[in-house]
Structure 1
Amino acid sequence: MRRQQLSQWFDSPLGRSLQAHEAHHLRAVLPNLYGTVAAQLGRIGELDLMDSCIAPTRIMLDDHDGPGKCRVRSVPEELPLDTRSTDVMILPHTLDFCDDPHQVLREVDRVLRPEGHVVILGFNPMSLWGFRRLVARRPRAAPWCGKFLRLSRIKDWLALLDFETTHGTMLYYRPPLRNEGFMQRLHFLDKMGDRWWPMMAGAYLVVAKKRVVGVTPLPVSWKTKRAVAASAAQSTARGMILPFRKQ
């Protein structure tokens, strides 16, 4: 239900403005993520966030029916995809509007191939958007009914799942106002935000790569090292002593 409310909100003037900004940054990121299968977990708004993805197979996963090619109905905590079957997973505010964000990331880890990438868009609670959420009347409407997870928390969860963060940026420094014309006039704040107040953006974008788990050598104790060294020395000495022959 909350995802449907969020999708409807992204059709509002403020939602369309934010989504256009996010889509612009995705077009700079997705062409660099190689693979044959990409999946988006949850559709929001009318823009195709996978339009710049180079993967020939693109799947839309959502918990309600709607238009779209290769759409599969699913919940984010239980993905109907095979293990290690996907190269790129896009989560547009998915973690903010799901019941168990950590379980969603575990599912993403399961379906991603080694060296695959996850792209996460989220609302920043440490911003004017986060303050607007705190003062919103209850029951909160979208997007203020979301969880607004801290960026540091997302990175901690990714690290626990052995993901390496490769790219991150803060997005959209304009305040959450309803007046579309006034919002357009505040476009200059997006250029100033990265320099003057970088952590006060309304949203963020994170890209993380699934690491390939290698073999870690077991630690050898000093006693074992000395025993191995002594054995090697004895073997070498025996090899150097030739048998004595009588003439």
Structure 2
Amino acid sequence: MAFKQQPPLSEWLPGLREWFGTELGQQLLNAERSLLDRVLPTMFGYHLVQISIDNRIELCRESPIKHRIQINPVIELGLSESCIIAKNEELPLAHNSVDLVVLHHTLDFAQSPHQVLREAARILRPGGYLVHIGFNPLSWWGVYRQLKFDKQTVPWQGHFISPQRMHDWLALLELTETRVLSDFYMPPFEKASWRQRSRLLESFTRRCSSGSGAFMLQVARKDVGGITPITPAWKKRKLINLPLAEPTARGARGKMSEENR
């Protein structure tokens, strides 16, 4: 699949943060946090990495993992000591060193979504978990995005990667999808009055299609089988068996008898 070329994430950050600060953006964010609060307490380990469109958003409040690292693409004032300045496509972390990676709309606004996912899989240790949150194209939000004339605005500029394509990408990276959840069935109306009037539509969509929420939450585990080292077949040196004379003590015994006489 050829994705539309995105500008660098640093150029989109102000618009993304402004949109998530709106009433609609806050409602979506609260729904995402509620779903994460149900999922994260079951994942344990020592190191957690959050890669989000806004490092100021606290997403892992219910995670039992205490050491948390946040990736930020630009240098800003007020960054915490646990924040690392880096590109999402080039994470300065060691292979197999992280127990949990949380991708929050990271792939939606990445220039190379598959490369970001590959980096997340690289730093994840065997048995570790990856949690991905992204906009769902199979929702009212996806329909609105297709009908919207100007798609160059936030958040409609995002890729809106389908759950099936994500499933295929995870499988290619040896990540086993273990859970898929969806929520926030409200149509993307900016006006609060319109959202109130669409409560019946929201309830109907929730009952009839549980996988058509505005966002998808996918959980995957890095399953890498144990590798058995292959011992090289060393070449044995071929030895030539030569006939050897058997040692005998006959001569020595006869000499000792003559001396005793």
TM-score, length basis structure 1: 0.80
| Residue 114 of structure 2: aligned partner | 102
Matched, 1:54 2:37: no
Partner of 2:242: none
| Inter-partner Cα distance in structure 1 for 2:27 and 2:20 | 8
Distance 1:139 1:153, change over 3 A: closer
Deviation of 1:85 (Å)? 1.4
Per-residue deviation, residues 43-73 of structure 1 (Å, max 9, x unmatched): 4385410111111111110212344421111
> How far apart are 1:129 and its partner, in Å?
0.8
1:32 correspondence with 2:42 = yes
Deviation string, structure 1 residues 54-98 (Cα, Å, up to 9, x no partner):
111111102123444211111111011111111110001111110
Q: Name the structure 2 match of 1:19.
A: 29
Deviation at 1:190, TM superposition (A): 5.7
Name the counterpart of 1:205: 217
Output the aligned Cα RMSD. Answer: 2.3
Amino acid at match of 2:70: M
Partner of 2:16: 6
Tell me how many residue pairs correspond in the alignment: 218
Task: Give me the whole-angstrom Cα distance separating, in 2, the residues matched to 1:63 and 1:131.
Answer: 30
Match runs of 1:44-123 below 5 Å: 44=54, 47-66=57-76, 67-69=78-80, 70-123=82-135
Q: Which stretches in structure 1 are left out of the alignment for 5+ residues?
A: 219-247
Q: Which amino acid in 2 is paired with 1:155?
A: H
CA contact (8 A) 1:168 1:205 kept: yes
- The separation in 1 between residues aligned to 2:91 and 2:146, in whole angstroms, is 32
- Please give the alpha-carbon distance, in whole angstroms, between the structure 2 residues aligned to 1:61 and 1:71: 6
CA distance in 2, matches of 1:89, 1:6: 21
CA change 1:192–1:57 in 2 (3 A) is: farther
Cα deviation code 1:192-246 (max 9, x no counterpart): 5443122322111001000022348x9xxxxxxxxxxxxxxxxxxxxxxxxxxxx
Distance 1:32 1:163 in 2: 18
Change (3 A) 1:77 1:45: closer
Alignment of 1:152-163 (within 5 A): 152-163=164-175
Are 2:161 and 1:149 equivalent residues in the alignment?
A: yes
User: Does the 8 Å CA contact 2:47/2:66 hold for their aligned counterparts?
Assistant: yes
Unaligned 5+ residue runs, structure 2?
1-10, 231-261
Higher Rg of the two aligned structures: 2
Read off the aligned partner of 2:138 and give its amino acid letter. Answer: M
Look up the SS of the partner of 1:88 in the other structure.
strand
Secondary structure, counterpart of 1:53 in structure 2: coil
1:237 maps to what in 2?
Answer: none
> Could you tell me how far apart the structure 2 residues matched to 1:215 and 1:111 are?
18
Q: 1:188 to 1:63 in 2, by over 3 A?
A: farther
CA 1:138–1:182: 2 relative to 1, 3 Å: closer
Q: Which amino acid aligns with 1:92?
A: H
- Secondary structure of the equivalent of 1:152? helix
3-state SS in 2 of match to 1:83: coil
CA distance in 2, matches of 1:68, 1:185: 40
Q: Any idea what the Cα deviations from partners look like across 1:129-179, whole Å, max 9, x if unmatched?
A: 112212333361100011111010001000111111111111111000112
| Alpha-carbon shift at residue 4 of structure 1 (Å) | 3.8
Q: Does the residue aligned with 1:38 lie in a helix, a strand or coil?
A: strand
